[in-house]
Amino acid sequence: MDTTVHAVQLAGTDQSFFCAADDTVLRAALRHGIAFPYECNVGSCGNCKFELIEGQVSTLWPEAPGLSEKDKQRNRWLGCQTRALGDLQIKLRTGDKYRPIHTPVRTSARLVSSRTITHDISEFGFELVQPMTFASGQYALVQLAGVTGPRAYSMSNAGVSGTALAFQVRRLPQGAGSTALFEQLRVGDAVEIDGPYGMAYLREHAARDILCVAGGSGLSPMVSVARGAFASAPLAPRQLHFVYGARLPADVCGQDMLQVLPGWRERGSYHAVVSGLDREAPLPEGLARGFVHDMVDQAYGDRLADMEIYFAGPALMAQSLLKLLIARKVPMDQVHFDQFY
Ligand SMILES: Cc1cc2nc3c(=O)[nH]c(=O)nc-3n(C[C@H](O)[C@H](O)[C@H](O)COP(=O)(O)OP(=O)(O)OC[C@H]3O[C@@H](n4cnc5c(N)ncnc54)[C@H](O)[C@@H]3O)c2cc1C
Ligand code: FES
């Protein structure tokens, strides 16, 4: 293991941090409490770009989609894919909302359980060697043996300080990471986990009813937010509404995990909506037909502006929901989501 550490200075500020040779510039900064902008942590969104003023770096993924040719010509790099090869001076604009609420830790972990949820979603439980503190709704990076680059997975358990983490993961037929999780990883096998990350965590002191909207693998962080909300004393007077959007009835899930939460009967509601069922096909009991944003508008419409709203899922669902929330004049500081890539 390389124990070399380099100093990184933020140009034009008095902020600096140390970056281990085997860490990335973004994650080292966050471990030091620096409010370094980011979102996906996996090279896709481009939010973690910085300009290299002085020093040498290397990239873990030269073709990462988050960086354009123009960026490369301007000596811009992705913080989540860049390693320091010596001391650096870099330029970026920090943003307070990115300051970590819990310090990310890197630790090895072992798979302790796996449980089928639907035909293509399972929950994987891990036992960490070092404890991690995270808030409901956050995610961690999982490095699997034989897979290039870590994968971001949102925790499904309620935020805690401890050594148990669970992730609900959707299997992609051609996906290297999800296939390794579903097909190769066995109970007792080791992975590396780095977290927590993400800004779409449960706001325990927001005195509003809660709406959680999940599509597909967005289930995991929304179940975590719901579990966290039902365990939170400040949120005890609040209602929580959970909407799950799926393509077909066989994809619908989540209700069984929610209705066991103490107080769910009095404070919780669950709706599922399917978008891919033929008009002529009979609709199973308890399901609605259509798109998730239409169902949210029909069910909550005018009340949206008074709710704390969390969502996770496919890009198209996220865009349609955002459009609706803007049209319904929901203040954006009441809306929390991490885009999945
Ligand atoms: C914040 C966040 C939270 C997420 N939470 C969940 C969740 O709870 N459940 C869930 O099922 N999915 C979640 N995802 C999606 C998940 O991270 C994977 O993208 C998905 O499982 C597909 O991965 P794959 O390896 O199977 O597919 P692949 O197509 O093999 O890989 C796609 C992912 O790997 C990254 N990647 C690809 N090649 C490289 C490379 N050479 N170097 C580095 N990175 C590379 C991409 O950026 C992309 O994230 C989340 C994504 C993000 C960003
Ligand atoms: S955070 Fe680095 S590209 Fe998304």
- The protein residue whose alpha carbon is closest to atom 27 in ligand 1 is 175
Distance CA 22, CA 4 (A): 8
Q: What is the pLDDT of residue 3?
A: 82
Q: How many Cα atoms are found within 13 Å in the side-chain-facing hemisphere of 173?
A: 0
Ligand 1 is surrounded, with C-beta below 6 A, by 40, 42-44, 61, 139, 148-149, 151-154, 167-170, 172, 175-178, 198, 217, 220, 338, 340-341
* Ligand of minimum distance to the alpha carbon of 167: 1
Distance CA 135, CA 130 (A): 17
> What string of DSSP letters covers 119-133?
SSEEEEEEEEEEEEE
Long-range contacts of 23-27 (CB under 8 A, 24+ apart): 23/83, 23/106, 24/60, 24/79, 24/80, 24/81, 24/82, 24/83, 25/50, 25/57, 25/77, 25/79, 25/82, 25/83, 25/84, 25/88, 25/90, 26/78, 26/79, 26/80, 26/82, 27/80, 27/104, 27/194
Q: What is the pLDDT of residue 339?
A: 82
Distance CA 203, CA 47 (A): 23
- The protein residue whose alpha carbon is closest to atom 13 in ligand 1 is 153
Residues in the chain: 341
Distance CA 330, CA 8 (A): 39
* Ligand of minimum distance to the alpha carbon of 46: 2
Q: What is the pLDDT of residue 156?
A: 98
Contact 18, 5 (CB under 8 A): yes
Distance CA 22, CA 196 (A): 18
Nearest alpha-carbon partner for 224 in 237, 242, 206: 242
Specify the residue for token string 């949206």: 304
- The protein residue whose alpha carbon is closest to atom 3 in ligand 2 is 43
How far, CA to CA in Å, does 313 sit from each of 64, 106, 141, 142, 179?
A: 21, 26, 17, 19, 19
| Multiple choice CATH, 5-98, 3.10.20.30, 3.90.1150.10, 3.90.1300.10, 1.20.1050.10 | 3.10.20.30
Contact 258, 268 (CB under 8 A): yes
Point out the ligand 1 atom lying closest to the alpha carbon of residue 65.
47
What is the 152 CA–ligand 1 centroid distance (Å)? Answer: 6
CATH 3.10.20.30 positions along the chain are 5-98
Q: What is the pLDDT of residue 338?
A: 85
Point out the ligand 1 atom lying closest to the alpha carbon of residue 147.
25
Specify the residue for token string 């109970």: 187
Write the CATH number of the domain with boundaries 209-337.
Answer: 3.40.50.80
CATH 2.40.30.10 positions along the chain are 105-197
What is the 37 CA–ligand 2 centroid distance (Å)? Answer: 9
What is the 80 CA–ligand 2 centroid distance (Å)? Answer: 6
Q: What is the pLDDT of residue 21?
A: 96
| Best of 42, 121, 193 for a ligand 1 pocket test (most atoms within 8 Å of beta carbon) | 42
Distance CA 139, CA 102 (A): 12
What is the 64 CA–ligand 2 centroid distance (Å)? Answer: 9
- DSSP lists the bridge partners of residue 123 as 115, 168
Burial 258-293 (b: 16+ CB within 10 A, else e): beebeebeebbebbbbbbebeeeeeeeeebbeebbb
Question: Amino acid identity of 314?
Answer: P
Q: Give the CATH superfamily of 105-197.
A: Translation factors (2.40.30.10)
Structure tokens at 307: 């709710």
- The protein residue whose alpha carbon is closest to atom 43 in ligand 1 is 149
Contact 73, 37 (CB under 8 A): no
Q: What is the pLDDT of residue 278?
A: 86
| Best of 24, 30, 45, 97 for a ligand 2 pocket test (most atoms within 8 Å of beta carbon) | 45
- The ranges of the chain with pLDDT < 70 are 1
Point out the ligand 2 atom lying closest to the alpha carbon of residue 49.
2
